[in-house]
């Protein structure tokens, strides 16, 4: 059985949604984020970065990086249809957007919320935050343009990259004011299992 280390309002939401929609056998292990459990020695043994999420595979192997978890799970549970067929042009697009979201957008969100960590200048946090916000506006504008061809990132039906996008737009709310990003998020929020999970993760 899989085990997902999670906490509300963290990137565990994306792999959790893929596990849930795939009807995969898994259990959740809540991390005491406010109590900084993720900074403790025991947690760092499973994730030296001290970050949430961590996915334990059925054999006990620990996996970090939310996008890598999503890629692993869509391969493991292809019947859930949360990504196009491997090797197809549509899959290349899916991989592109998932990595764009995980690297660029998630990265800018971390700089936005944890600005002081990204500078050695004691007065530098405001500048980091402003630059992060500028990056977020640019990145979400790119996503808005990409959505002019179809309602979801890789077509007519939603997939795991769309779920990842919704999670990030839940954290950076101005993104939801973009018409196509906003429509994508609203459509996903109507899916009953996703709606339940958003409550669990205190999103929205």
Ligand X SMILES: N[C@@H](CCC(=O)N[C@@H](CS)C(=O)NCC(=O)O)C(=O)O
Binding site for ligand X (CB under 6 A): 10-11, 38, 50-53, 65-67, 102, 106, 110
Nearer to ligand X, 35 or 192 (CB): 35
Find where tokens 């899959």 sit.
91
Work out how close the CB of 9 gets to ligand X at its nearest, in angstroms, rounded to a whole number. Answer: 7
**For residue 74, how far is the Cα from the chain centroid?**
14
- Beta strands 2-6 and 62-63 are unpaired
Nearer to ligand X, 152 or 201 (CB): 201
Residue closer to ligand X, measured from CB, 16 or 65 = 65
Query: Tokens representing 28?
Result: 């959740």
Nearer of residues 110 and 189 to ligand X, judged by Cβ: 110
23 φ/ψ angles, rounded to the nearest 5 degrees: 55, 40
Q: Which residues pair with 82 in a beta bridge?
A: none
User: Least Å distance between CB 19 and ligand X?
Assistant: 15
**Residue carrying structure tokens 């919320």:** 113
Least distance between ligand X and beta carbon 179 (Å): 27
Compute the least distance from the CB of residue 204 to ligand X, in Å: 16
The C-alpha angle with vertex 84 and arms to 54 and 61, in degrees rounded to 5, equals 20
Nearer to ligand X, 70 or 185 (CB): 70
Q: 165 and 101 in contact (C-beta within 8 Å)? A: yes
Tokens of 186: 């609203």
Give me the least distance between CB of 150 and ligand X, in Å please: 25
């Amino acid at each position: 059985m899989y085990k997902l280390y999670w906490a509300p309002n963290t990137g565990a939401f994306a792999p959790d949604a893929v596990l849930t929609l795939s009807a995969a056998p898994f259990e959740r292990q809540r991390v005491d984020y406010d109590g900084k459990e993720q900074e403790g020695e025991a947690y760092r043994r499973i994730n030296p970065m001290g970050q949430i999420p961590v996915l334990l595979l059925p054999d006990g192997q620990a996996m970090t990086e939310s996008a890598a978890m999503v890629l692993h799970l869509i391969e493991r549970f292809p019947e859930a249809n949360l990504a196009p067929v491997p090797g197809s042009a549509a899959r290349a697009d899916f991989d592109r957007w998932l990595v764009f979201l995980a690297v660029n957008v998630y990265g800018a969100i971390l700089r936005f919320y944890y600005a002081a960590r990204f500078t050695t200048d004691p007065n530098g946090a405001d500048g980091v935050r402003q630059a992060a916000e500028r990056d977020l506006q640019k990145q979400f504008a790119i996503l808005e343009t990409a959505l002019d061809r179809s309602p979801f990132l890789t077509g007519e039906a939603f997939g795991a990259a769309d779920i990842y996008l919704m999670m990030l737009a839940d954290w950076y709310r101005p993104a939801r004011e973009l018409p196509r990003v906003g429509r994508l998020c609203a459509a996903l929020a109507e899916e009953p299992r996703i709606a339940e999970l958003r409550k669990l993760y205190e999103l929205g």
